[in-house]
Each structure stands twice: as C-alpha cells, then as structure tokens.
Amino acid sequence: MKYSRMLLRWPASFLFGSLYTCNIKVTLRCNLRCGFCGLWRRGGSREMYLQNYITAADKLKKMGAARIVLTGGEPLLRTDIVEITAAFARRGFSTTLLTNGTLADRERLLALKRAGLNDIGISLDSCDPETQDDICGRKGVWEKAVSTIRESVDIFHPGIVEVLTTVTSRNLTAIPDIVEFVVRDLKAWAVINPVNIPSPGHSILSAGSPDLTFPLPPRQVDRVFDTLRTMKRSGYRILVSNRFLEESRSYLKSGRYRWKCHAGERYLTVFPNGSISPCSDTPAIANILELSPGDFRKKAFRDQARKIRDACDGCIFSCWREASYLFTKPSVILERIRQFLPGTGGKRLYHEER
C-alpha cells in the first residue's frame, strides 16, 4: 500500500513526463560542518510553517507527485518534522527522509514511522570514527550515526534504510570496506555518490569546498569501482544502478559529466521558504504557496525550467540521475525490479541475513 501511489503514477510520468519526485528541503540549517558541503556556509533562510506544508502537500498531489524526499540541511532540526512527514504520508505520498543521523533517538524514529515515513537515508562516510568526525567537523558523529542506522533497520524494516556515502579523496580507497560494513554488519542498503564539484558560480549545494582534491587517481578509482561491481553482482545491497556506478567512475577520473536531465518536469525541489527550483542546485522559478497546480502544467513554467536545464553544466547527484533513469533507461528499470523482487539479488541477501 505504501508504495502504491508510486506504482500507479509511474506510467503517466513515463509516458507524458509528468511530475513524480519532489525533494523538500525543510531547512538549510545543519548541526554539522562537512568540508565538501556548501549548505552550512550559506546560513539559514526563512522557513515555511507546518500549515504551509499542508497546503504544499495538497498542491503537489494535484500536480501529480508520487514520491516525497524530506531533506535539508538537517531535517531533524525542525521540531515539527513528524507533523510535516504526516502531512505528506496522509495524502498517499511515498515518503523518504534523509538525515545525518545525529539528532535521532529511538523515540523520534518511532514517531516518524507512526507518522507514515516509509524509508530513511542516513549519511556515513567512513568506518573509522575519527575520520568520520573529521569529515563532518564535529565529535561523536560516527557513533551517533551508526546507532541511528541500527535503530532504523530495526524500526523501518521492510522499508528501505539507505546509508549514503559521499566519495571524496578522503575515503575513496575505503569505499568497499564501508559497503561491506553497511551491508553485512548494519544490514542496510549502500548508496555511493561522488562528491559533486560544481562549475564556478553554479552551485547552491556544493559551493565552497576548497579542501577537496579532484579528479582522483584513475587506477585507484578503477580498483574501487571494479570491486563495487563485483560486490553488487554477488548480491550486496548497493542501491545505485550499474549505469550510475560507471558514470561515477568516469566522473571521478576525469572531473567531467555529460547528462541530459529532467529537472523541472519529472522532479522538482521545494526550498524552505517555499520557492521551487528544477533541482536542488538551480535558481528558483516559482513559489509553491503562490503556484497553482494548473500553472505548473503550463508551457511558460516548463520553458523556464528548460532554459535553466539548458544552461546547466550538469551534475553527478545520484538522486536526480537515478530518478531520471527510472523513466528512460530500460536496463536500470530491469535492474531495480530484480533488486526488489523477493528471491533475487540484494533483496535475497537482506532476507537471508535478518
């Protein structure tokens, strides 16, 4: 039942390019200071109230969206995150929450589950507590994040618990060990995403990462990605497609990406103040509180989104790429079906080990 809207809306989005996924940034504030992230350097912004989210949920439903990803900044800094989640879940959306895992205890996770949250994603960039804390600029992050992952696997099963790892020069060679830890020990799904290095002046999310070394040594990148492909073939729950793994490999070696995205059509981002952008890294073109569902379908809105896409140099965000491939790349669609069919691929491993 909880994924039924996603399944029912998929054909319309596949055939007509209609809206499917919406990322909702409930805040830009964050309690961590990750070196590769530009968000905390930007500071906060005005944030919508709960009542505004109820209005937004009604509108997004009329606009056809099926899947809502609640994110930030750190979404658990919002004291009303449980109520915001409920506003979307009650309207039939499939809901996922992405968090750094440091502000969640069992009670809060249970409240989110009761509010209707289906899936949760938690960041983890190292198996080594000191390295993790250094990457995040705060002490105690590793212990807290790992404890939140363990609690989440217990609470959200059979929902998906993703562990999100950003690949940088700091952790490249440790990536297979992180996947091993995530899948075998924590019993979660591994999501591997290269750090996005934006073109100057382009990025909202990733700006200000002067400490990053990029591109990375090609031989090391190849060794790591060959290992990941082998692990995935043998049933490790790696929740990015083979296509995305190969694109990540090529991007990490060259620093170049080529991609035609669907931002502003099949997916959108809503910022904390209600402004709508084609994706998390592009300028606003409307505000959810002022936009009518009819306006969204009009040519003028789509033309504005297209102009922004055409001017964009590209990105390597797995969320947008995978969302796009689920409508355009038959190999990725088949791979995903295989992963989630009982008795096959990663799903089998998951059930056997629980």
Q: Report the interface residues with ligand SF4, using CB under 6 A.
A: 30, 32-34, 37, 39-40, 72-74, 100, 123, 136, 259, 261, 263, 278-279, 281-282, 309, 312, 314-315, 317, 320
- Which residue, 9 or 25, is less far from ligand SF4 as judged by CB? 25
Nearer to ligand SF4, 89 or 124 (CB): 124
Which residue, 137 or 158, has its beta carbon nearer to ligand SF4?
A: 137
Place of tokens 């729950």: 237
Shortest reach from residue 205's CB to ligand SF4, in Å: 8
The residues, any chain, with a CB within 8 Å of residue 93's CB and separated by 6 or more, are: 5, 57, 60, 61, 65, 66, 67, 68
- The residue among 89 and 145 lying less far from ligand SF4, judged by its C-beta, is 145
CA dist 33 and 239 (Å) reads 26
Residue 278 C-beta: closest distance to ligand SF4, Å: 5
Cβ closest to ligand SF4, residue 121 vs residue 345: 121
Closest to ligand SF4 by CB, 109 vs 315, is 315
177 vs 28, 98, 124, 208, 281, CA distance in Å?
A: 31, 22, 12, 28, 30
Find all residues with CB under 8 Å of 196, minimum gap 6, and list them. 203, 205, 206, 281, 315, 316, 317
Taking Cα atoms as reference points, which of 66, 91, 72 lies closest to residue 28?
72
* Helix (H/G/I), strand (E/B), else coil: 264: coil
Tokens 């983890």, located at residue? 124
- The CB-of-99 to ligand SF4 minimum distance in angstroms stands at 8
Q: How far apart are CA 114 and CA 227, in angstroms?
A: 38
Tokens of 82: 């449980």
In the complex, least distance from residue 146 CB atom to ligand SF4, rounded to whole angstroms: 15
Q: Minimum distance between the CB of residue 73 and ligand SF4, rounded to whole angstroms?
A: 5
Pick between residue 74 and residue 151 the one whose CB is nearest to ligand SF4.
74
| DSSP sequence for 130-193 | HHHHHHHTSTTHHHHHHHHHHHHHHHHTTS-EEEEEEE-TTTGGGHHHHHHIIIIIS--EEEEE
- Euclidean distance between the first and the last CA atom of the chain, given in angstroms as a whole number: 23
28 vs 30: CA distance, rounded Å: 7
User: For ligand SF4, which is the closer residue by CB, 170 or 309?
Assistant: 309
Shortest approach of ligand SF4 to residue 158 CB, angstroms? 26
Residue 214 CB, shortest distance to ligand SF4, in Å, is 17
What is the DSSP track for 230-257? HHHHTT--B-S-HHHHHHHHHHHHHS--
Q: Which whole-number Å values give the CA distances from 155 to 159, 176, 301, 339, in the listed order?
A: 9, 26, 40, 21
In the complex with ligand SF4, the residue whose CB is nearer, 47 or 281, is 281
- The minimum distance between CB 309 and ligand SF4, in angstroms, equals 5
Q: How far is the CB of 153 from ligand SF4 (least distance, A)?
A: 20
